[in-house]
Structure 1
């Protein structure tokens, strides 16, 4: 599947800090949430449904809180 991401507005994760392991997410495209590595902006992009991305973020937060 080829998804047009030309209108994506990318935002770096607030958890990225100053290290080189940065993730960027675009929340402005209807029906999808694309995620990419900020070190390789022309590289591959993972595309999630909004529900799947929300579940992923929730699971990460739960894991961080129980650590």
Structure 2
């Protein structure tokens, strides 16, 4: 749409070697990780409350990390 030299991913079109480009790329990488944590936290709290885990640290860790295995 904007020429043959344009790449499909926005981050690939940024100038290389500039600090601002590196900040933009790192922000793009970190953003999905923080969104995942914010989305999963209420779900994990609801599961912990339903199971009656309470303040048991090992069980809380088990509930919150069980999604990584699937």
- With the shorter chain as reference, the TM-score category is 0.3 to 0.5
After TM superposition, the score normalised by the length of structure 1 is 0.33
Identify, as 1 or 2, the structure richer in helix. 2
After TM superposition, the score normalised by the length of structure 2 is 0.32
